[in-house]
Structure 1
Amino acid sequence: MTNATQPPKRKGGRPSLSEVAKIDARILVAATALFLEHGVDGTTFEAIANKANVSKPTLYARYSTKSDLFEAMIRANVTSAMASTADLSEGLSTEDTLRLVGQKMIREATKPVPLGLMRLYITEAPRHGVLIREVDYIGREAAVAMISEALVPTLNSDAIHHARLIADKFIDMVFIPYLMRMLLGDTKSSLDQRVDDTMSCLKALQLIN
């Protein structure tokens, strides 16, 4: 007897939405890996299709050029790059919260893949300058929002404005300089010392107690 509740097997045709999402994800993962290893010019659509285990027509149906795929790859990685603040303990001071969130954000940004992508962005800036500037703005705004969200509960009056001001200063004084040192291959720079110096400066500016 046939089980009437059993769903019918797919007989070809269009893939389901979940299957499409999995294909899209495989393509972007494959493109990221190959662009990092060989650069954009050194990577072919055939290599990306092979690594993603899709056909070339499937790849071309989504991205007509490598520039289109490069843009999609950048946007996907920027969207997923922000560290979570969900595991922060409650009741921390503004200084302790900033220290924990800031260091977590920096450590995520300086892992091999994000750092490699930043080098790739710099290499591709002459051809994709508008995109790189846009992504830089999106990334900065996401970082400011993440830090601000964590700081607001530790502040009193005018919390949002105050939190964003602290976040901006932290990014300019710690995140960007430290990231640049790492991009230049300096693995000995002390993150803790830079954070400590910045905390002293923020206290002097009366931005944190």
Structure 2
Amino acid sequence: MVASKIARGKVGRPPLERAGEVEERILDAAKKIFLAEGFEGASVDEIAQQARAGKPTIYARFPNKAALFAAVIGRQAARNTQYDNLVPEGRSFRAKLISVGIALIERAFAEETVGLMRTAIAESPRFPELTREISDKARKRATCNLTKIIGELAQAEDLAGEGRFSPDRIEDTARIFIDMILFPMFIRCLLGEELRALKKEVPDHVEKRVDFFLDATT
């Protein structure tokens, strides 16, 4: 009787403190399978086996494979656009902006990020809303987080109340910074240019665009 009660106690949903761990394990497994097999080649059976989780556990959190794929991409984008640990380096305003620009590109060039985004682009004809939603959310999050960094740098330079760095314009300024510096290199990467060659171009690319950015904003 006791053994029966213990066995029954093991069945069901995990405790709340473990629920997040289970979801992370599922997303980690799904990311690995999507990167290796692509969206079409990936199966929920294989993901369940990799995650050591039952299919009902997966479907309780993600109604279908597309929703699981969206969650994987969304988590990766959130990690790449979380800039809390990004510390600008250098003495001058220009040097600090250059270090920020290089850091943004280096994060975007992470192998997992590139692989997942290429998979998402390949599936965009089937799931256009998904690709658009992920792109919009990532851009908004990156802009919001970069606004804080550039705002703090501008304040240290006594530029916070002036022109493009004023409170009502700083968000647009951060968005322009991303559009000028990050996106051109990232798009070239996603289109298949050799990553090693692109990385060699990054310092010069960032320096020239930071100079243009400063000429236009200060």
TM-score by length of 2: 0.81
1:136, distance to aligned residue in structure 2 (A)? 0.7
Residue of structure 2 equivalent to 1:159? 166
More moved, 21-30 vs 139-148: 139-148
Q: Distance in 1 between matches of 2:92 and 2:84?
A: 15
Residue of structure 2 equivalent to 1:174? 181
| Letter paired with 1:19 | R
1:39, distance to aligned residue in structure 2 (A)? 0.8
| Contact 2:74 2:134 (8 Å CA) reproduced | yes
| Contact 2:160 2:167 (8 Å CA) reproduced | no
| Letter paired with 2:181 | V
More moved, 145-154 vs 47-56: 145-154
1:162, distance to aligned residue in structure 2 (A)? 4.2
1:35, distance to aligned residue in structure 2 (A)? 0.7
Match of 2:9 among 11, 22, 25: 11
Residue of structure 1 equivalent to 2:211? 200
Residue of structure 2 equivalent to 1:67? 66
| Contact 1:36 1:117 (8 Å CA) reproduced | yes
SS at 2:213's partner residue?
helix
| Letter paired with 1:168 | R
1:160, distance to aligned residue in structure 2 (A)? 3.1
Residue of structure 2 equivalent to 1:3? none
| Contact 1:82 1:142 (8 Å CA) reproduced | yes
| Letter paired with 1:170 | F
More moved, 63-72 vs 160-169: 160-169
SS at 1:80's partner residue?
helix
Residue of structure 2 equivalent to 1:108? 107
Residue of structure 2 equivalent to 1:99? 98
2:53 equivalent to 1:45: no
Summarize deviations over 1:6-63 as a string: whole Å, max 9, x none.
Answer: xxxx932432012211111111111111011101110111100000011222223323
Unmatched segments (≥5 aa) in structure 1: 1-9
| Letter paired with 2:160 | N
Summarize deviations over 1:102-139 as a string: whole Å, max 9, x none.
Answer: 21121111110011111011111111111211111111
* Higher relative helix content: 2
SS at 2:194's partner residue?
coil
SS at 1:33's partner residue?
helix
1:92, distance to aligned residue in structure 2 (A)? 5.1
Unmatched segments (≥5 aa) in structure 2: 1-7
1:83, distance to aligned residue in structure 2 (A)? 4.3
| Letter paired with 1:123 | A
2:39 equivalent to 1:35: no
| Contact 2:89 2:99 (8 Å CA) reproduced | no
Percent identity over paired residues? 29
TM-score by length of 1: 0.84
Q: Check 1:161–1:75 CA distance in 2 against 1; reply closer, same or farther (3 A cut).
A: same
Residue of structure 2 equivalent to 1:80? 79
